[in-house]
Chain A
Amino acid sequence: MSRNIDELKIQANTIRKDILKMIYNIQSGHLGGSFSMVEVLTALYFDEMHYDPHNPYLKDRDRFVLSKGHTAPALYATLANAGYFPKENLMTSFRRIDSMMQGHPDMRKTPGVEMTSGSLGIGLSAANGMALGNRYQGIGARVYCMIGDGEINEGQIWEAAATASHYHLDNLVAFTDVNGLQNDAETKKVKDMLDIAEKWKAFGFHTIEINGHDFNEIFAALDAARNCKGRPTAVISHTTKGKGVSFMENVVAFHGKTPTKEEYENGMAELEHAI
């Protein structure tokens, strides 16, 4: 575990640029919610998780489940940077016909994708299954799940929360990417879920609130999760949708809007200058 924060910041910046490139290139895909979780993905794949990109199906690998599957660009860019497949694929495959990188994550097509997703609400249940499966097989690996703060409108998330808690899944960490926006508008306007941390606590989770763009806070949460026995951990990750490009930050439209040429160039310029 290197935990070189400066290097991780550069890695996160590279991933953001790759995401912007791939979405601009195909003129389709979800920017806002991809950008908001980049630091958490970077911390997981470039420090925390145990895996081998050349041997993606290792029995004892840690797994990441992207429940908010529409933000696949961030996962694909992370996996490419982690060495699962060549970075060129981000441009030639994403959202194209006959390709290994579908619009939403497909575990049968993309190495490193642990669970097929895209229909919101399903991922945490699958992550529970993986955590239970590992435990049953005596595998010490950990399972991480990323859920949207709009996605938690789905009842199944809370069914799964109760399951994780009931089975004391201390090998599971559920992140909620609290970027405050969903498809239509602010999450508080679409359906106010009130105090999100209180909800996870009430379901029996060891619950930690962090700034999801701050590596130190992310690692503190991951360490605390590993040290917590007998309970699953919920990390309430407060983030900014569209983080990294000023005019995309906190803008509802950039949930699914693709950048124009000018927006792309200005966005890339901002990201270039950020490091």
Chain B
Amino acid sequence: MKKSFRSSLINAIAKNAENYPDMIVLNADSARALKLTDFSKAFPDRMIGVGISEADLIGTAAGLAATGLVPVVVGFSMFVSEKPFEQIRQAIAYPNLNVKIVATHSGLCVGQDGATHQALEDMAVIRSLPNFKVFAAADVTETEAALEAMLKHDGPAYLRLGRDLAEDIFEGRKNFTPGGADILREGDDVTIAACGLMVEQALMAACSLRSEGIRATVMNAYSIKPLPEQLLLEKAKKTGAFVTAEDHSIIGGLGSAVCEYLSGNCPVPVIRVGVPDRFGESGTQDELYKKYGLTADHIIKAAKQAVSMKTMNAKG
């Protein structure tokens, strides 16, 4: 069943409100759009809205963190990662302040709003900052687990969510550890490492591949930074071929991170499924995923290519 990221976020925040009395939520004129108004009603003094001023939003969060509170900045991905990027670098990353950024509406899944609102580079830029952890949630359960893990961790962290509906993959509870990953399916021929909304596509792809005799490991690579290095190494040795899948530019995201790690530790073919080096456009999520290569079919094609490269490599 599909459930909404936006409705889950408020649940996740509300659940943690008692356990983390120091948690303060900040937004920039997006409380209504993100369904956060229940929280501001329940905890009026723990919700700070700064209006449409994202640079100010980030700086304010940094100041709150400096007083020992735990600010959680919530907003559309584009406006809480790329727009105030330099403020994030100077006021959060460099001083290593305990600010959490939760970014909704990440990637092409934004749909009809179009390219201006489709953050295809957020993981690339935030991942490049020292001190930052970067996570992506695949469904509602994982969103809640991720927020809790971020609150437990002392330091800057970024969580990336989709716009609206996601298939319920984990149903209920799941582990979430920085540097962790979930193996959702085992197979010896190829590893598909996916994050966010592409996890669902990866599982569908693995099913189809199985019927064609290709057995795929499916990894939910929710921790883009730090990477699940040991698991990547193990799977690279076992399957000898990788596909990565993400609703993000193929430059700088999960695919790049996996390539960076494997190239220095266990070089195997890695085919990156993601948005090619171009901007998005308006359209429905389904239309855009088809046009920009983010479907199970694209993963299947990539998996076959990765497997064939492995054979070619072996033949030398």
Contact = CB atoms under 8 A, between A and B. Distances in A.
Secondary structure class of chain A's binding surface, majority of residues: loop
Contacts of A252: 32
A223 B113 CA distance: 36
Contacts of A101: 282
B35 to A, nearest CB: 11
B114 A150 contact: no
A104 B78 CA distance: 14
Interface residues of B, number: 30
Contacts of A183: 29-30, 32-33, 52
B52 A119 contact: no
B188 interface: no
Contacts of A28: 112
A97 B33 contact: no
A121 interface: yes
A95 B282 contact: yes
A95 B29 contact: no
A102 B32 contact: no
B38 interface: no
A223 B30 CA distance: 38
B51 A95 contact: no
B283 A96 contact: yes
B112 A26 contact: yes
Interface string B105-123: 0000000111111000000
Contacts of B63: none
Nearest to B29: A183
Contacts of A106: 114-115
Given A182-B29, A184-B49, A256-B33, A118 B284 contact: no
Interface string B36-72: 0000000000000111111110000000000000000
Nearest to A120: B52
A116 B114 CA distance: 11
Contact of A103 (B28, B78, B83, B282): B282
Given A97-B282, A119-B78, A150-B29, A103 B114 contact: yes
Interface in B271-288: 281-284, 287-288
A69 interface: yes
A146 to B, nearest CB: 15
B115 A102 contact: yes
Contact of A155 (B56, B79, B112, B291): B56
Given A99-B282, A153-B29, A184-B32, A119 B51 contact: no
B247 to A, nearest CB: 16
Given A102-B115, A104-B114, A104-B116, 19 more contacts: A95-B283, A96-B282, A97-B282, A97-B287, A97-B291, A102-B114, A103-B114, A119-B78, A119-B117, A121-B52, A150-B51, A153-B50, A154-B53, A155-B56, A184-B32, A190-B49, A191-B29, A191-B52, A256-B33
